[in-house]
Amino acid sequence: METIGHYLDQMRSASPLVHNITNFVAMNSMANVLLSAGASPAMVHSVEEVEDFAAISNALTVNIGTLEPAWVDAMCIAAKQMNSQSKPWVFDPVGVGATQYRQQTSKQLLALKPTVIRGNASEIMALAGLESSAQGVDGRDSVESAVEAARNLARQLGSVVAVTGPTDVVTDGERIVEIPHGSHYMSRVTTLGCSLNGVIAAFCVGQPSYEATVAAIAYYGIAGETAHNKCQGPGSFWVEFVDALASLSGDDVTSRSQVKL
Amino acid sequence: METIGHYLDQMRSASPLVHNITNFVAMNSMANVLLSAGASPAMVHSVEEVEDFAAISNALTVNIGTLEPAWVDAMCIAAKQMNSQSKPWVFDPVGVGATQYRQQTSKQLLALKPTVIRGNASEIMALAGLESSAQGVDGRDSVESAVEAARNLARQLGSVVAVTGPTDVVTDGERIVEIPHGSHYMSRVTTLGCSLNGVIAAFCVGQPSYEATVAAIAYYGIAGETAHNKCQGPGSFWVEFVDALASLSGDDVTSRSQVKL
Amino acid sequence: METIGHYLDQMRSASPLVHNITNFVAMNSMANVLLSAGASPAMVHSVEEVEDFAAISNALTVNIGTLEPAWVDAMCIAAKQMNSQSKPWVFDPVGVGATQYRQQTSKQLLALKPTVIRGNASEIMALAGLESSAQGVDGRDSVESAVEAARNLARQLGSVVAVTGPTDVVTDGERIVEIPHGSHYMSRVTTLGCSLNGVIAAFCVGQPSYEATVAAIAYYGIAGETAHNKCQGPGSFWVEFVDALASLSGDDVTSRSQVKL
């Protein structure tokens, strides 16, 4: 594996166009995260244009946070377009344990074999069909308890699976790595998980998806640590975090990364 | 009545899941306000899942800021679900005086007897069928002029009614209290009123709705005062406000509250 | 032409109600920008009420960033309402080069002769039917290359056309002016272009549209310069920018403006 910073530098030099079909809560934050990181975001969701737009994008993210039937159709169309062009796409099963509708939708999307799946422990366990104490969109299961589910899911689908929480874990079914970066404020600011999907997708453009996912999450967590040290609370954390995503260089990230591959 | 801070502490220890069917403008801000205050927010609106999600939530907010027919259906379904489980829900009649459609929708929702109704003076007067000089979503009527309307509305529906503005007033039809906290910046930052709905809903979980509403508004206004003293304008006000929502303790709020019950 | 600051002062004393049918990403930011500048924003999009709401608004903005058929219908209804009342409306052809659907929608809206059209160079060139290397919603064409397209478009439609980018250009088909204000951070924060539409619309209420557009863009760029000098990155740029929009007086703007008319 190259250094973590190498993957960041490559992403920035490509400045990929990331097409996002995400929830209403996340759209603005996610766009700012992607711009600060160095990618180019776009949010496009209608069936009238989603296939055309996916065709000119470099990567896609799909997030079921605020679902509607027409949006589900669009998600499937866009994901198929990415598959047909061998471009990466990231699936975030937000609150999948909460309703039957999310479970049905997630099944449809899993059948399209996402390049990367990212969720909290409860969501990954729900996806894997394991018992879970999922409440709404917050995860109440520990990352550790979801590791086995993640590994099974990764093997079954050929996807990279990332379980995020106090510690993040990434697996491709064979390899597995812990990423010990981040800040507790990251769960006190809305849609930081959703926004991470976009960063992962951007890193995956032209780079191997397992390494790219690990590098994206490490970079994101290190930016969180920078922000943690400067902020006074969740409001200023967000401001510092967006600044840190832009200011951190590839070398900064490499030297601070504690990821062991 | 317990101290204001007691209601905050109780809310935080419960960390209720608050289901919000709110406008597109408010979603991100509201989620951040709820997370900072100590509650757990979720935005879910489609008829395919709204009943299921309401069933696992502790409280609901309904806001007509950006209406569509399918959303109105979802609002009614979710409100009925809360009523059937005796869980609190808060209704915000944004810009009700502006269009016939908002008036019709508000009538449907009022018929479901919200636990709490929160609006500016023009909105509460429009709801009560009084004459109002409502322009769009900004209130041009004074809080004082809406007090009688609020009291009538509260009596008629058995709801708590909160009129917010430079001074806030809360009534249950019998009791009435003024809350002299806040900052003029709170009308210069978008969706602070909408976001307050979520905080009120969170405070109402397991606590009496009149006292909980008063305590939520006092806490919110005191956080506004903290932010006011630290900010340079509306942009930095928002950042300081979110920080203050997280940093204020129950004791802080109790000692600073000037609410007389 | 009056001073730049005069147009700002007039806008603030009118505090116009600006009705926005804009994309989901921009709504919150745009509302905050309008409030800080001194206008009154509202986001209303459903066909059930959009005509009623446009009728009581002072100006309209239409933005095709996140399109759906029902929204396109609403855009046309609202634009016609503004035309019938001789009120200004601003059209932003976000990513018009990216999909057929955006091109069709833009044609419908151009036929209604917007008061002002604002886009980046690629978007204005695509609108004018010229060749363009548009990628998604980022412009890759230079402002200079779009000037001829802008002039033709302005003449053909009788609109004011603004091309924004590192340097901004405004033309009414006869007159043309460059506006050399702003900061490179303005392309690193999402929806600053979208939000500018609202400020232009607000300035156009009761003021001549060419001069009002120039003044709005100059004011916006000068606020960007203030923020640039105080920020540490794109996160803090946004905070400082919103503060600057509120704190700059008409006199400040006049004395700092380098616009030559």
d(CA B204, CA B29): 20
Among C101, C137, C232, whose Cβ lies nearest the Cβ of A49?
A: C101
Note whether C117 and C64 are within 8 A (CB).
no
Please tell me the least confidently modeled range out of B91-100, C54-63, C122-131, C251-260: C122-131
Residue B105 lies in a domain: yes
**Could you tell me if residue C261 is inside a domain?**
no
Q: How many of the other CB atoms lie within 10 Å of CB of C131?
A: 10
Is residue C141 within 8 A of residue C133, CB to CB? The reply is yes
pLDDT of C163 reads: 97
Q: What is the mean pLDDT of residues A180-187?
A: 97
Does A258 map to a domain?
no
Domain count, chain A: 1
| Residue C130 pLDDT greater than 90, yes or no | no
Which residue in C233, C33, C190, C215 sits closest to B233, CA to CA? C33
C183 membership: H or E segment, kind and range? none
From the list A23, A187, A235, which residue is nearest B239 (CB)? Answer: A235
| B9: CATH | 3.40.1190.20
Q: Taking residues C216-225, what's their average pLDDT?
A: 98
A83-87, B135-139, B188-192, C179-183: the lowest-pLDDT one: B135-139
Strand-pair partners of C170: C162, C177
| Beta strands B176-179 and B168-171, pairing class | antiparallel
Separation of alpha carbons C94 and C136, rounded Å: 9
Hey, what amino acid is at A177?
V
Task: Please tell me the distance from the alpha carbon of residue B142 to that of residue B140, in angstroms, as a whole number.
Answer: 7
CB-CB neighbours of C229 under 10 Å: 10
Phi then psi dihedrals of residue A19, to 5 deg? -90, 125
Residues in chain A within 8 Å Cβ distance of C138? 17, 40
Residue B171 pLDDT exceeds 60 = yes
**Given the DSSP bridges, would you call strands A116-119 and A160-163 parallel, antiparallel or unpaired?**
parallel
Candidates C44, C58, C190, C252: best to mutate against B (most CBs of B within 10 A) is: C44
If you average pLDDT over residues B114-131, what whole number do you get? 90
Whose tokens are 């074999």? That residue is A113
The whole-angstrom separation of Cα C43 and Cα A45 is: 19
Q: Which of A40, A49, A238 sits opposite C67 (nearest CB)?
A: A49
At B142, is the pLDDT very low, low, confident or very high (cuts 50, 70, 90)?
confident
pLDDT exceeds 50 at position C131: no
The 10s digit of each residue's pLDDT in B58-85 is 999 999 999 999 999 999 999 999 999 9
Handedness of CA B123, B126, B132, B136 (dihedral sign): positive
What's the average model confidence in pLDDT over C22-39? 98
Is C32–B190 a contact, with Cβ atoms under 8 angstroms apart? yes
- Domain of B244? 4-256
- Average pLDDT rounded to a whole number, residues C100-111: 96
What percentage of chain C reaches a pLDDT higher than 90?
Answer: 92
Q: Where are the alpha helices (DSSP H) in chain A?
A: 4-14, 27-37, 50-56, 69-84, 100-110, 121-127, 143-157, 192-204, 209-230, 234-247, 250-256
Q: Do B190 and C28 touch (CB under 8 A)?
A: yes
Q: Measure in Å the smallest separation between the Cα of A240 and chain C Cα atoms.
A: 7
Query: Mean pLDDT over residues B114-125, rounded?
Result: 96
Tokens 């009527």, located at residue: B141
Give C136's contacts in chain A (Cβ within 8 Å).
17, 19, 40, 42, 53, 56-57
Indicate the SS3 state at residue B86: coil
DSSP class of residue A58 equals S
Residue with tokens 């009123």: B193
What is the predicted ipTM?
0.94
Pairwise CB contact (< 8 Å): B135 & C56: yes
Please provide residue A176's backbone torsions phi and psi, each rounded to the nearest 5 degrees.
Answer: -150, 140
Cross-strand bridge partners of residue B102 = none
Q: Which two tokens stand for residue C245?
A: 């929009």
Neighboring chains of C (3 or more beta-carbon pairs < 8 A): A, B
Decide if pLDDT at B215 tops 90. yes
CA–CA gap between residue A198 and residue A79 (Å, rounded): 14
CA B238, CA A3: separation in Å to the nearest integer?
38
Touching A (3+ Cβ pairs <8 A), the chains are: B, C
User: CA-CA distance, B85 to B241, in Å (whole number)?
Assistant: 33
CA distance C87 to chain A (A): 30
Provide the 8-state DSSP code for A89: E
> What average pLDDT score do residues B198-202 get?
98
Q: Identify the CA nearest to A93 among candidates A47, A146, A148.
A: A146
- Residue pair A253/A222 in contact (Cβ under 8 Å)? The answer is yes
pLDDT bucket at C140, cuts 50 / 70 / 90: low
How far apart are alpha carbons A140 and A133 in whole angstroms?
Answer: 6
Please, are residues B95 and B137 in contact by the beta-carbon 8 Å criterion? yes
A25, part of any domain: yes
- The whole-angstrom separation of Cα A51 and Cα C162 is 30
| Span A114-142, pLDDT tens digits | 999 999 999 999 999 854 454 555 556 78
Closest CA to A25 of C156, B147, B34, C185: B34
Q: How far is CA B99 from the centre of its chain?
A: 21
Phi then psi for C25, rounded to 5 degrees? -65, -35
Q: Is the pLDDT of residue B122 over 80?
A: yes
More confident site: A138 or A60: A60
Q: Of the candidates A17, A70, A243, which has its C-beta nearest C233's C-beta?
A: A243
Q: Which chains, if any, share at least 3 CB pairs under 8 A with chain B?
A: A, C
Contacts of A8 (CB under 8 A, 6+ apart): A38, A203, A215, A219, A248, A249, A250, A253
Q: Which helix (H) or strand (E) holds B145?
A: helix B143-157
Q: Is residue A235 part of a domain?
A: no
Least confident of B31-35, C101-105, C131-135, C241-245: C131-135
**Are C135 and A40 within 8 A, CB to CB?**
yes
For residues C12-26, average pLDDT: 98
Closest CA to B29 of B181, B137, B189: B189
What does the alpha-carbon distance between residue A61 and residue C209 come to, in Å, rounded to a whole number?
Answer: 40
Q: Is the per-residue pLDDT at B201 higher than 50?
A: yes
Mean pLDDT of chain C: 94
Q: Which candidate in B63, B101, B183, B231 is best for mutational testing of the C interface (most C CBs within 10 A)?
A: B101
pLDDT in the model for residue A71: 97
Sign of the C-alpha dihedral computed for residues B78, B80, B85 and B89 taken in this order: positive
Q: Residue A177 is encoded by which pair of tokens? A: 């790595």
Q: Which of B23, B106, B137, B183 to mutate to test the interface with C (most CBs of C within 10 A)?
A: B137
CB-based contact A59:C219 (threshold 8 Å): no
The pLDDT score that the predictor gives to residue A140 is 64
Measure the CA dihedral B54/B56/B58/B59, to 10°: -10
Q: Quick one: CA dihedral A204, A208, A213, A219, positive or negative?
A: negative
pLDDT average, residue stretch B16-42:
98
Whats the size of chain A, residue-wise?
261
Average pLDDT score over residue span A237-241 = 98
Report pLDDT for C129.
85
DSSP symbol at A169: E
Q: Give the residue from A232, A238, A242 with the most B CB atoms within 10 Å of its CB, the best one to mutate.
A: A232
pLDDT at A97 over 50: yes
Residue A171 DSSP SS3: strand
Q: Summarize pLDDT for C178-215 with one digit per residue, the tens.
A: 999 999 999 999 999 999 999 999 999 999 999 999 99
Asked if the Cβ–Cβ distance from B190 to C35 is below 8 Å, we say yes
**B23 interaction partners in chain C (CB closer than 8 Å):** 43
B153-168 pLDDT, tens digit each: 999 999 999 999 999 9
- Which residues, including other chains, have CB under 8 Å from residue B220's CB and lie 6 or more apart? B181, B182, B196, B199, B245
